[in-house]
Amino acid sequence: MSVNALYDYKFEPRDKVENFHGMQLLYVYWPHHLMYCSPFAMLVQPDMTFGAFVDEVLKPATADHPDAPQADFLAAEWQLNGEPFTPDASATLKDCGIDHKSMLTVTTKGLDGIAGSAS
């Protein structure tokens, strides 16, 4: 849905990477798991490895979902900003091309939410 501004807004964005003290925002969407109603907004270090991100950030964030114990996020299908993406678990987020406010989508085949309901 497009939005038309009524005025010419001019302001300094407050969510610029410079305002995050070396950290960056990363959005992660897990389709067919709408127990989480929107993508996660995560604060991450750009120099952490993708494997560390999965183990230390993503797994704890999704742990309450019944599908989480079966989810193999490293073997999942990934997209980065809407494009197919094959992460390298040993590379840093920065080296993987993940920057401030990137959107990752992770699809775990065979896991379709609570009792297959996409929730």
Domain of residue 37, residue span: 28-116
Separation of alpha carbons 83 and 49, rounded Å:
20
Average pLDDT over residues 85-111: 97
> Cβ neighbours of residue 39 under 8 Å, at least 6 residues apart?
27, 28, 29, 103
What are residue 91's DSSP bridge partners?
none
Does a structural domain hold residue 108? yes
Separation of alpha carbons 100 and 26, rounded Å:
6
pLDDT at res. 9: 78
> Any idea what the CATH number is for the domain that residue 105 is in?
3.10.20.560
pLDDT bracket for residue 83 (50, 70, 90): very high
**pLDDT (tens digit, 9 = 90+) per residue, 59-82?**
999 999 999 999 999 999 999 999
As given in the structure block, the two tokens for residue 107 are 């699809």
Global pTM reads 0.88
Strands (E) in 1-119, as ranges, are 24-29, 40-44, 77-80, 83-85, 102-107
pLDDT(1) > 90: no
Does a structural domain hold residue 19? no
8 A C-beta contact, residue 59 and residue 30: no
Count the domains in the chain: 1
